[in-house]
Structure 1
Amino acid sequence: MLRPAGADDLIAVGALHQRSRAAAYAPFLSREALAEPAPTALGHYWRERWSHERADHVLTVAERDGQLIGFSYVGPDDQGDPSTGLLHAVHLEPAEQGHGLGRMLMADALAGMRSRGWQAAALWVLRLNRPARRFYERGGWRPTGVTQPDLIGATPVVLLRYRRGL
C-alpha cells in the first residue's frame, strides 16, 4: 500500500534509506563509505529535510503488514526549471527489489508530478549504479549527458542526470 508519509515515518524512512543505499552501492563503494551516516542519523536528516521541504515536496511510503518497505520523494527541479519535477529518491528494502515495488513507486511519483503541472521529470543517479540506471532507462528515462560530482562519505562519486517527459 502506498500512502503519503507523516512525521512519524521519518526515522523509519532514514533507516530504510541506509539499508537500501548500502545494498545498492556495495558492489562499487567501500564498507567504510557506506557505514555513514548511521540509520538513526539518516532518520534525523529526513526529519530536518522534511521540516523545510514538505510544502513543495511529496514523500510517499510503501507499507506491507505495517512495515515500511519503500519510499519515493519528489519536488521541484534543482536546476530551476519550473516545468520540471525532480525525482529525488526511490528506495526499497533490499529484499523487495525485482518484485515491482520500485515500478509502482516510480509510476506514482510520475503521476504526482503530472498532477502538479510539470511537463518533464529529472533525476540524478550514481554513474556506477548500473542496475539503477537500467531500471530508470526501462522506465523511459534517458541520460542528458550532464554530470555532477558528489561525495558518499569521503568517497568522490559522479552523478548522472536523467530526464523524461511526463
Structure 2
Amino acid sequence: MSAAEVRPATPSDAAEIARIQRLTWRAAYTDLLGAEAIDELDAADLEGTWAETIEFPGSLVYLATEGEFTVGYCVAGPAPEEEAAAADGSAPEDATGLIAALVVEPRWGRRGHAGRLLGTAAGGLREAGLDRGITWVAQSDHATLGFYRRTGWNPDGTVRTLDTGRGMLREVRLTGTLRLELAH
C-alpha cells in the first residue's frame, strides 16, 4: 500500500472532490435518487460549491490520499443548533461538531481512509473547542452505521425523514466523542 495521508483541502481540490462525490453517489444513491438526478449533478456547479465550502469560515474539509490519488473527503464544522438539538428541541449540553460528509471512493474502501478522515476531523473540531460530534446516516446504510459504531458513535434516538423526489429517506443521528482513538 502506498503512503496514506489526510490533509486539509484547498480550493484547487474542488474538482477532485466533485469527481469523488459524483462517482460515489452513482454507486450508493442511484436507487434512491434515480440515475437522472445523479446525471444532472453538473460538474462546474458542483466544483463551485466545493470551492465555496472549502473557503467557508468554520468549515473543515479534509482529503484522504493514497500515493498520488485522492481517495476520499470529509466535511466538518460546528453543528447548527437545529441539528444538534435533542429530540425535544432542547439545546445540547456539550459544544457539538457536525460531520456533514465522510466519503471514500468505493474502490479505495476498507483501507483505513474513513477512520483517518474521521480522526483528523475530530481533532480539528476539538481544536475549535467542540466536545462531541454528530452525523446523519441513512437508516438503510448498514456499512456506514457499522463504521461509526466501531468508532464508538451510536444512534441517539433522533431521526429525520428527507424527501428525495423519488421517495422518503429516513436518517438516524449518531453521536459520540471527538476524542477518538482509532487503530492505525
Counterpart position of 1:95: 107
> Stretches of 4+ moved more than 6 A in 1?
none
In the aligned structure 2, how far is the partner of 1:43 from the partner of 1:154?
A: 25
- 1:119 paired with 2:131, answer yes
- Code of the aligned partner of 1:141: W
- Comparing 153-162 with 12-21, greater Cα deviation is found at 153-162
On the 8 A contact 1:76/1:84 being kept in 2, the answer is yes
The CA deviation string for residues 120-166 of structure 1, in whole angstroms up to 9 with x for no partner, is 10001111211111111111111112112224454431221110123
Query: Secondary structure, in 3 states, of the residue corresponding to 2:122?
Result: helix
Q: Separation in 1 of the partners of 2:167 and 2:158?
A: 20
State the aligned residue count: 164
Among candidates 138, 145, 148, match of residue 160 of structure 2: 148
How far has the Cα of 1:28 moved from its partner?
5.5
Further displaced range: 63-72 or 99-108: 63-72
Identity %: 26
Partner of 2:66: 64
1:9 maps to: 13
| Partner in structure 2 of residue 23 of structure 1 | 27
Alpha-carbon distance in structure 2 between the residues aligned to 1:98 and 1:27: 23
**How many angstroms apart in 2 are the aligned matches of 1:75 and 1:25?**
24
- Structure with greater Cα Rg: 2
Question: Relative to structure 1, is the Cα distance of residues 134 and 28 closer, same or farther in structure 2, using a 3 angstrom cutoff?
Answer: farther
Length-normalised TM-score, structure 1 = 0.85
| Distance across 1 between alignment mates of 2:68 and 2:120 | 20
TM-score (norm 2): 0.78
| Residue equivalent to 2:79 | 77
Paired residues of 1:15 and 1:40 also in contact (CA < 8 A) = no
Whole-angstrom CA distance in 2 between matches of 1:151 and 1:47: 26
* 1:101 counterpart letter in structure 2: H
Distance 2:43 2:169 in 1: 21
Aligned to 1:139: 151
Residues 1:66 and 1:91: Cα distance change in structure 2 (over 3 Å)? same
